[in-house]
Amino acid sequence: MAGALQIKLKSSEKLLVAPSLLSADILNIESSISKLENTADWLHLDIMDGHFVPNLSYGPFLLKALRKKYPNAFIDVHIMVEPAENFVPMFLAGKPSLLTVHAEATPHLHRVLQSIKAEGVLAGIAINPATPAELISPVLNLADVVLVMSVNPGFGGQKFIPEVLGKVHKLAELRKERNYDYLIEMDGGLGPENAALAAAHGCDIAVAGNAVFSSPNPAETVRKMKTAGGENNG
């Protein structure tokens, strides 16, 4: 399994797409996933606590059920919960491939990232639209993924905030300067129309909820996003 994850992470020449299950059919998530027809690189699971963000979503039971049903899937878990460290163990128990915590949701980001990596799980750092990339500069060496929010977290179907593209570019530059290998993920308001723009600024993985699952053909929408990203990313 570790080998397979490594391959996914290294195939960053093209834009990877991570459909967000927040926009899946809640009463039939399995059917929503099957409509992706194996086009999705990652499955993105949004966890909301009604405190760090003004909404509630799923808990660790759904992650456990997904892992049981899809043992080989790359499950990308994005926890919007505070304090992050209180929730990390219960999500690690559900065997995510990647666990991403918000920099704004813990005073102990370094320790939290270490605790995720200690379990052999990839560790991600998420930053809100108003958070500068410089804030996480001292811990970038511990990041497998940096998730740049392109909407204010809490809800699907919001409008893309283009001002965050500068941070994506900055993070790509920092990665090169320091010879790091984290991937850059963007989340919120993405779809076929702006996937190329995201990729051109250095985005490696595009999360998309509404654009994918509200489309009459989710698999085709994922393919369109990947093609758009690939053309611009060379």
Interface residues toward Zn ion, by CB under 5 A: 46, 78, 187
- Using CB under 6 A as the binding rule, whether residue 20 contacts ligand DX5 is answered as yes
- Using CB under 6 A as the binding rule, whether residue 156 contacts ligand DX5 is answered as yes
Nearest C-alpha neighbor of 126 from the set 111, 145, 107: 145
Within 159-218, which residues bind ligand DX5 (CB under 6 A)? 187-190, 207-211
Asked if 204 is an active-site residue, the reply is no
Q: Which is nearer to ligand DX5, 10 or 51 (CB)?
A: 51
Q: Which is nearer to Zn ion, 26 or 118 (CB)?
A: 26
**Cβ count within 10 A of residue 166:** 12
Burial 99-113 (b: 16+ CB within 10 A, else e): bbbbbbbbeebeebb
What's the CA gap between 228 and 82, in Å, rounded? 35
- Using CB under 6 A as the binding rule, whether residue 22 contacts ligand DX5 is answered as yes
Asked if 46 is an active-site residue, the reply is yes
N- to C-terminal Cα distance for the chain?
28
Catalytic annotation, pick one of 41, 76, 187, 204 = 187
Within 61-120, which residues bind ligand DX5 (CB under 6 A)? 78
Token output for 108: 């102990």
Find the Cα–Cα–Cα–Cα dihedral 153, 156, 161, 165, rounded to 10°.
80
Which amino acid is it at 17?
A: V
Size of the site for ligand DX5 (CB under 6 A): 22
What's the CA gap between 116 and 87, in Å, rounded? 11
154 binds, among Zn ion, ligand DX5, none (CB under 5 to 8 A by kind): ligand DX5
Binding interface with ligand DX5 (CB under 6 A): 20, 22-23, 44, 46, 78, 151, 153-158, 187-190, 207-211
